[in-house]
Amino acid sequence: MIRKIIEAENTTSNQEKEDWFIERTNRHIALVQQAAKKIVAKYPEFQALLDQVQKHDASKFEEPERTPYVSISWRHKLENDGFDPINGKGYQTPGLLDKKDENQATLHHIRTNSHHPEFHNQAEANLSPECRDKSLHCIDASAMPDIDIAEMIADWQAMTEELKKNTTREWFNKQQDVRWHFSPHQVELIDKLIKVFEISE
């Protein structure tokens, strides 16, 4: 079985991977924009969010992020299709980028886009070398403005709809004071914005 998966990976064209990256990233951006519209419909004071999300994740389409994110997106596609050949820890074959390359792209992304808490605390921005979805230590995000918090919630909601693994609130509860520390005001705002999606479901 593993040999067949590796053979399938090796015969997949770079164009197919590139096409999937573009399709998946554009779908994610569209979901973020839909979530932003729901936030603004409930809280018109966030009207500027609609302009801000027009540039959501634009850096993924340029180097140094594009090539690694093509690889990351393809790996996640295969994982979501049910391929998990190495001890249940994710899809890996020769030819995919190593964790260091993926982490460098992810670190560039979170330091470049203001909807990530790390953008507002560059000195502490970090990632675990073992997993690009985790931090080495909790980052103080208390300098993050409300408008960026709103885009962050729209991003989380989009991921919730894509992955169907956690609710947005479950994701926040797992990360709060583990990956990111938010001020009491920010926690209250996050709670308020998450409720926009809980009420509409």
Are the C-beta atoms of 171 and 157 separated by less than 8 Å?
A: no
pLDDT above 90 covers a percentage of the chain that reads 66
How confident is residue 85, by pLDDT bands cut at 50, 70 and 90? very low
Among residues of the chain, what percentage have pLDDT more than 70? 85
pLDDT (0 to 100) of residue 102: 83
Cα(61)–Cα(200) distance, rounded to whole angstroms?
Answer: 32
Which of 13-17, 111-115, 143-147 has the lowest average pLDDT? 13-17
Residue 182 CA to residue 123 CA, distance in Å, equals: 16
Helices (H), ranges, 119-164: 146-163
- The whole-number pLDDT of residue 147 equals 98
Least confident of 46-50, 89-93, 139-143, 180-184: 89-93
Grade residue 66 by pLDDT with cuts at 50, 70 and 90.
Answer: very high
**Cβ density class 108-119: b for 16+ within 10 Å, e for less:** bbbebbbbbbbb
Identify the CA nearest to 91 among candidates 105, 77, 102: 77
Give the tens place of pLDDT for each residue, 143-188: 999 999 999 999 999 999 998 888 999 999 999 999 999 999 999 9
Q: What is the mean pLDDT of residues 6-26?
A: 80
Q: Domain segments of the chain: what residues? A: 2-81+95-200
Looking at residue 10, its pLDDT comes to 54
As a whole number, the mean pLDDT across the chain is 87
pLDDT band at 63 (very low <50, low <70, confident <90, very high): very high
